[in-house]
Amino acid sequence: MADSSFASAPLGAPAPVSATAPAARGRRRMLRALVGGLVVALPVLVIALGIDLLAPGHYRHMASIAMINLMIVLGLQVYMGNSGIVHLGHSAFVGLGAYGVAILATPVAMKALSIPDAPLGLAQVQLHPLGAALAALAVVGVIALLTGLIIARLSGVAATIVSLAFLIVCHGMFLNWPALFKGNQAFFGIPREIGFWGVAAAAAGTVVLARLFRESRTGMQLRASAQDMQAARALGLDVTRLRRRAWILSALICGGAGVMFAYLTGTISPRAFYFQQVFLTLAMLILGGMATVTGAVLGTLLLSVGLEVIRRAESGLDLGFVALPQMLGLSGVALGIVIVLGMALRPQGLAGRLELDEYIATTLRRGRSTAAPGTAQGEREK
C-alpha cells in the first residue's frame, strides 16, 4: 500500500474538534460489536431454519451436534484466538459441564442403577435441569479459576502442555472414578431437555458473546499482548490477568456446550470429550481462522459439512452415473488433507483478519470510493 502521507500530512493544523468523547466512542464500539456479532450469528440461524424447514429429520440431530461443536470452537477461540496460545484442554471443560448436569439432573431412580455409590449423597440429589446447569457451570468456573491461576502465567508451549495435561487429568478422573462418573461406560438417563432450537439459540448467543469479548477492553488488550508482548508490557498491560479472564470465559462456554450436549443426547461417555473432539474442534478453528469469531463459524460450518459428505462417501456412494466403492478411513485422511492444504495456502485461516461485518463494511466503502475516486483514504487493506 502506497503510504505517502508521512511527508505531506499537514503539520500543526488545528486538531478537529472531536464530535464524541472517547467514553461515548467506547460505548459505540461495543454497540458495533453487538451488531457485528448478530451479523455473524445470522448465518447460523438461517442455516438452522433451512434445516428445520427443508431437510429430512435425521439432519436435525446432525446439525444440533454441529452447533454444539460450534460452541466448543467459539470457546476455544475466546482463549486461543485472543491470546495466541494453543489450547488443547478445552474438551476437559466440555466434559466437566456434561458430567456436571449428568450427575445433578439425572433422576434419582436412574442413578440408583448407574451411580448408586456416588460420594456426598449425590445419588439422592436431583436438581431442576436449569439449576443443575448453573451448578455445573459454577463447578466449571471454580476449576477454571484455579487452573487459570497457573496457566495464565505461562506462555507459548508451556501453556499448551499444561492445557494438555489438564485434559489428560480430567479424562483420567472420568475413567477412574466410576462411583461418580461411571467410568468407561456410558452415563445414561440424563433428561433430554434441549432440542434443536434450544441448541441453535445457545450457539447464536455464544457467537455474540465471543464477539463482545473480542471487542471488549479485555479482549483488545489481550489481542494486543498476543501481537507483541514487549509492547504490551510497555503499556502496563497485566497480561496474566487478561489471559485468566479469557481462560475462564472460554471454560464457561465449553462447559455450556457440554451441558447442551448432555441435555441433547441424554447419554455421555468419557471418550466423547477427548482427543478426537479436541482435534476436530481445533481443526475447525484453525481452518476458519482463529483471529476472528467469523473464522470459528466458518471453519465449523465447512468441516461439519465436509466431514458429513466424506462420511457418506466412506460407506459407498451412488452418484447415479457412477457408484463409488466403500472407502473406510477416508474421513480421517480427508480431515488431514484439508488441514494441511488450508494451512499451506492460508496460514491465518480462511477468514483472515476481518470479521464478516467488517469485511462487508470494507467492501461497501471500497465500492463507494471507486465510484468517487480520490476519497479512498484510511480504509482497510483487505
Partner 1 sequence: MLEVSGINKRFGGVAALSEVSFSCNRDEMIGLIGPNGAGKSTLVNVLSGFLCADSGSLAVNGRVVARCDPIAAVRAGIARTFQTSRLFGDMTVRQNVEVAHSRCMELRPAEGVGVDPEILIDECGLTALSGLPAATLAYGNQRLLEIARSMALAPAFLLLDEPAAGLNDAETALLARRIIAIREQHGCGIVVIDHDLSFINTLCERLVVMDHGRVIASGPPETIWSDPRVIEVYVGQTPPTETQQATIQ
* Residue from 217, 311, 312, 346 binding partner 1 (CB under 8 A): 217
Classify 104 as helix, strand or coil: helix
Q: Is 233 in the site for partner 1 (CB under 8 A)?
A: yes
Q: In the numeric block, which cell numbers belong to residue 94?
A: 466440555
290 touches 209 (CB < 8 A):
no
Q: Is 378 in the site for partner 1 (CB under 8 A)?
A: yes
Q: Residue 360 to residues 51, 288, 357: CA-CA distances in angstroms?
A: 26, 17, 5
Q: Is 372 in the site for partner 1 (CB under 8 A)?
A: no
DSSP 120: G
Name the residue nearer to partner 1 (CB basis): 26 or 50: 26
* Residue from 168, 237, 313, 339 binding partner 1 (CB under 8 A): 237
Q: Interface with partner 1 by CB under 8 A: which range of 19-27, 64-72, 114-122, 314-322?
A: 19-27
* Residue from 56, 57, 109, 230 binding partner 1 (CB under 8 A): 230
Q: Is 380 in the site for partner 1 (CB under 8 A)?
A: yes
Q: At which residue does the C-alpha cell 466437566 appear? A: 96
Classify 184 as helix, strand or coil: coil
288 touches 296 (CB < 8 A):
yes
Q: How far apart are CA 42 and CA 328, in angstroms?
A: 36
Q: Is 27 in the site for partner 1 (CB under 8 A)?
A: no
Which of the residues 345 through 364 are near partner 1 (CB under 8 A)? 353
Work out how close the CB of 379 gets to partner 1 at its nearest, in angstroms, rounded to a whole number.
Answer: 6
Q: Is 235 in the site for partner 1 (CB under 8 A)?
A: yes
68 touches 264 (CB < 8 A):
yes
Q: How far apart are CA 262 and CA 249, in angstroms?
A: 20
Neighbours of 330 (CB within 10 A): 15
Q: Is 373 in the site for partner 1 (CB under 8 A)?
A: no
Q: Is 377 in the site for partner 1 (CB under 8 A)?
A: yes
Q: How far apart are CA 45 and CA 67, in angstroms?
A: 10
Rg for the chain, CA atoms, rounded? 23
Work out how close the CB of 213 gets to partner 1 at its nearest, in angstroms, rounded to a whole number.
Answer: 14
3-state helix, strand and coil shares in percent for the chain, rounded to the nearest 5: 75, 0, 25
Q: Is 6 in the site for partner 1 (CB under 8 A)?
A: yes
Q: How far apart are CA 70 and CA 349, in angstroms?
A: 16
Q: At which residue does the C-alpha cell 472414578 appear? A: 177
Alpha carbon of residue 32 to chain centroid = 21
Q: Is 28 in the site for partner 1 (CB under 8 A)?
A: no
Q: Interface with partner 1 by CB under 8 A: which range of 21-29, 104-112, 149-157, 326-334?
A: 21-29
Q: Is 16 in the site for partner 1 (CB under 8 A)?
A: yes
Q: Is 5 in the site for partner 1 (CB under 8 A)?
A: yes
Q: Is 381 in the site for partner 1 (CB under 8 A)?
A: yes
* Residue from 60, 171, 223, 245 binding partner 1 (CB under 8 A): 223
Which of the residues 244 through 303 are near partner 1 (CB under 8 A)? 291
Alpha carbon of residue 93 to chain centroid = 12
Work out how close the CB of 366 gets to partner 1 at its nearest, in angstroms, rounded to a whole number.
Answer: 12
Q: Interface with partner 1 by CB under 8 A: which range of 18-26, 115-123, 147-155, 202-210?
A: 18-26
Classify 268 as helix, strand or coil: strand
Q: Is 18 in the site for partner 1 (CB under 8 A)?
A: yes
By CB under 8 A, name the binding residues for partner 1.
Answer: 1, 3, 5-7, 9-12, 15-16, 18, 21-22, 25-26, 217, 220-221, 223-224, 227-228, 230-231, 233-238, 291, 353, 377-381
